[in-house]
Structure 1
Amino acid sequence: MPVVTASTRQHSHDDAPDTAAAFARLAGLPDGPRRQALRDEIVGLWLPMAHRVASRYRGRGERVEDLNQVAALGLVKAVNRYDPSLGNAFESYAVPTITGEIKRHFRDHMWTLHVPRRVQDLRNRVRAALKELSQTTPGRRPTVTELAAHTRLSEDDVRTGLEALDCFVALSLDAELPGSEDGYGLADTLGESDAGYDLVVDREAVRPALRTLSERDRTILYLRFFRGMTQSDIARQLGISQMHVSRLISNCCTALREQVRSDVT
């Protein structure tokens, strides 16, 4: 003999059964097999409603089966926490609970990139505005200005929300760019560190210190580091020994290093 039956009386939706009496009995049962069986029966009656709530989130990158499972989990939590003595209809309590569970699922599991909660909220508002305005602007995408006016957000916030629309799934760096005919991929658009910038910084930092050296010392450093000459070649050109050239280079580099450090500090 079934413990719960779905009433033919219509509620706010056709998938909202009359389980008030069942919840009253559930509240009076102690933990055990009878309470578990009654709870499972109530959950089964309300599953169509949970699936209806889940259907609102279709087309957002998650499978329908997974959405229904998350909604069912939210429904179980709602049944466990519902207190009929407060006088509120179960549906009015369950829908926000199920919706919150689905939103948490998207927030915690569906974003490939970590996106702050504020940006997620902007994305949701912009996404809803795009859907609403697309009915009044057929044939074209709503502009940033139109979205800002509709959402009462700044245009910068709208642009942030638009950028976040694609953050659920990250493309592979090997993915070919739209419109590319020669296999030009995302990896080809990435920049890399340019050692030339560091070289410019180093040269500018050492320039004042070089002016403090004698003309001969500057000539030796120029021939060694800019002309690529060996110490032996420099020694022959200047008419001094190779050992002397080595000591001069070492002393000059030490003096320049100390000078640059003192200028920085």
Structure 2
Amino acid sequence: MGASVATAVVNSEETAVDVRSIPAARPDDLPYIEEPQSVTPQDARELTQIFFRQLATLEEGTHEYQYARNTLIEMNLTLVRYAARRFRHRGDDMEDIMQVGTIGLIKAIDRYDPSREVEFTTLAIPYITGEMKRFFRDTTWDVRVPRRLQELRVDLARANEKLASELGRDPNVCELAAELDISKEEVVEGQVAANGYNASSIDVTINEDGNETPLADLIGERDQDMDLVEDLHALKPLLEQLEDRDRHILELRFGQEMTQSQIGSELGISQMHTSRLLSRALTQLRAGLLSEA
């Protein structure tokens, strides 16, 4: 399955499948679905239950068992795509996220017990998102740096190990630059970026003038403006979904700090109508933020 399945799911068009046209499932006669990844989510829910009931009666390892299991996987890949959307702003390759999410889907299928009368999605979504979070935990740097610098860090580590073995000491910046055929500035940049791979604990102590000082005591207070930066980052894609007039009203109200009466005069509408439009836009943004959270 792998990447080709994930790519097919991302690029495929969803088409309706009439579940009623599929013959009733029997232990030796499974429904045949030519393109499981094209089944709509609504039909997939009903078909999923049919296939799970069949799967429970089949012997593991048989052709029928593999067909039922593989069809369940492909038919429910929309759940992986749905779960992957919450991580779309992280900057990671969506194909990688889809693949690890598919692993979670497979685990959910293998562990699902239809006799408990619990909706499959109730079990599947936590498994899928759990695999995605584990992926980020295992592969993400403590401090986010560009992919170019992440790759440079690996090259520097290999060059450092090679030269240290040859020279009997740690190589300097010039020697590393010559080994990798890059500038000294790039070597320094890569070394600085490498500090973001592992972060120090705030419980560690730092020796300053003979005094042991906890790192936590040297950390500044929380900057409230950082919350604003995060909110603005989250709002950007939501603002793009608003109508042009709604975005213009928000710009006049919060960007140019105009009153509702002034905005109404600017747009040729009443102050009350301006208030309703502003309230509608803010409600839509608030709902989007809560959905992201």
Q: TM tier, shorter chain?
A: 0.3 to 0.5
TM superposition score normalised by structure 2: 0.37
The alignment's TM-score, normalised by the length of structure 1, stands at 0.41
**Higher fraction of helix:** 2
Q: Which has the larger radius of gyration?
A: 1
